[in-house]
Amino acid sequence: MAIEKIPTHIYSEIGELEGVIIHSPGNELENMTPENAERALYSDILNLCVAGREYNEFRGVLQKVTRTFEVRELLTAILEDERVKEDLVRKVCMHEGEAGTAGHLMSLGAKQLCKALIEGLPLQQNTLTNFLNKERFALRPLHNFFFTRDSAVTVYDDVLLGSMASPVRLRESLIMEAIFNNHPSFKTTTISAVDKKVKGQQVSIEGGDVLVAGREILVCGIGSRTTAGGIDYLMDHLKSKNEKQHILVQELPETPESFIHLDMVFTILDRDVCMIYEPIIMKMNKFQTVHIYAEGGQVKFIREVKNLPEALGKLGLDLKPVLCGGSDDQWVQEREQWHSGANFFALGPGKILGYARNVNTIRALEKSGFEVIRAKDVIQGKADLKKHEKYVVTIEGSELPRGGGGARCMTMPLSRRDIV
């Protein structure tokens, strides 16, 4: 029986979700120490037991509303093909300078290889050099992979594979590329930014900095993870495909780490509502907002604009901002933004998912007409989401947010229904 392929199709941030890829965190989180946490892009180490319970809530809600795919299952399936296995192992070993491990990796079965690629391959102490090496792994664990948003993002009908800012995350993009190019469940074209250059400079672009606002409108961030060259690379691809293309670009602070991506300060919640971290998005600061417009394969203009909501309004997308932190108290705003208070994921128009811990933000959403529903009640069948028009499902988040991301970060949407 032929498997029905899912065409990738994302033309908005809020269309009803029809499929999503996630990665439930595993031992790769435990394969981290305080000494290597910073290199792994963490400021602290996470407790897998607690993070796992919280993630189960997140996953449980998604499974109630849409088709949900796990990276481990997808990767294991494609590694049964020797050709795919050999190609992926070759690319990983080449990019990570571990040619000597290729033979061992190829000797592993699909499940064992999947485990090694995600959780790390221990360094064999079969030489004096290895014995004296302070590293524990020949292939480092992918501590950040449960943030599936960054390594691959659906843009219209294609999948853009991220060129990750940190080498420790490159393997994530290679794995996602292998999945989309080889798994029978998906019908798509991949565009890889890995190893691409613009004017001689290596580009960097990650999915947390790419929001699909409409059929001809992207909103992108540039900062510590995505470079201007990354946006230029994306525009070069889109202007050759689309008759018209707008990209609104928001500059982000390089520090602190809570500003790593645009979706940490700006997300779209409904046809007429967005969530913002006000000090960056609306108030006067040194971070520019830029409008790029291309038509007929040529960039027609690049100019500075006042802010994202105003620029989107001029393009026909009028969004009322809800403030992360719930008020203009910058102290509260900073506290809740730090733990992904602006990072919401839409299950459909006005149907969103986020952390319960950001109580002032959740209260502001409630005042804006969003009914607050606990994830536990959804999973246990006490709340039927089909009976609610506008809501925010709250998941527990004492440990997960310490990894540096929220519900949008932890999802890689495949397809959404078009907004009517």
Residue 336 has pLDDT above 90, yes or no: yes
Structural domain including 310 reads 17-78+141-416
**Residue 229: inside a domain, yes or no?**
yes
Share of the chain above pLDDT 90, in %: 80
User: For the whole prediction, is pTM greater than 0.75?
Assistant: yes
The per-residue pLDDT for range 303-329, each reduced to its tens digit, is 999 999 999 999 999 999 999 999 888
Residue 391 has pLDDT above 50, yes or no: yes
pLDDT, tens digit, for every residue of 254-268?
A: 888 889 999 999 999
Mean pLDDT for 19-27 is 96
Query: Is 374 inside a domain boundary?
Result: yes
Partnered with residue 9 across adjacent β-strands are 415
Task: Classify residue 117: in a domain, yes or no.
Answer: no
CB-based contacts of 84, cutoff 8 Å, min separation 6: 78, 178, 182
Retrieve residue 345's tokens: 């994921």
Share of the chain above pLDDT 70, in %: 94
Indicate the pairing of strand 6-7 with strand 186-187: parallel
Query: Residue 272: which residues within 8 A CB-CB, separation 6 or more?
Result: 318, 319, 320
pLDDT at res. 359 = 97
- How many folded domains does the chain comprise? 1
Torsion, CA 327, CA 253, CA 257, CA 56, rounded to 10: 60
Query: Is residue 320 situated within a structural domain?
Result: yes
On the 0-12 / 13-18 / 19+ scale of CB atoms within 10 A, 116 is: buried
* pLDDT of 37: 47
What would the mean pLDDT of 194-215 be, rounded to a whole number? 92
Residue 205 sits at φ, ψ, to 5 deg, of -150, 130
Tokens representing residue 39 in the block: 């290199």
DSSP labels, 387-399: G-SSEEEEE--SS
Please indicate, yes or no, if residue 279 is contained in any of the structural domains: yes
- For residues 223 and 256, the answer to whether their CB atoms sit within 8 Å is no
| CATH number assigned to the domain comprising residue 197 | 3.75.10.10
| Of the listed ranges 52-66, 130-144, 371-385, 397-411, the one predicted with least confidence | 130-144
Q: What is the pLDDT of residues 91-119, one digit of tens each?
A: 999 999 998 899 999 999 999 999 999 99
Q: Which comes out higher in pLDDT, residue 1 or 371?
A: 371
| Residue 102, in any domain of the structure | no
State the helix-helix crossing angle for 82-96 and 110-119, rounded to 10 degrees: 20
- Asked if residue 391 belongs to a domain, the reply is yes
Average pLDDT score over residue span 153-178: 95
3-class DSSP state for residue 119? helix
What is the overall mean pLDDT for the chain?
A: 92
Q: Is 89 a domain residue?
A: no
The lowest-confidence range among 132-146, 222-236, 253-267, 272-286 is: 132-146
* pLDDT digits 0-9 by tens, 353-366: 999 999 999 999 99
pLDDT of residue 36: 56
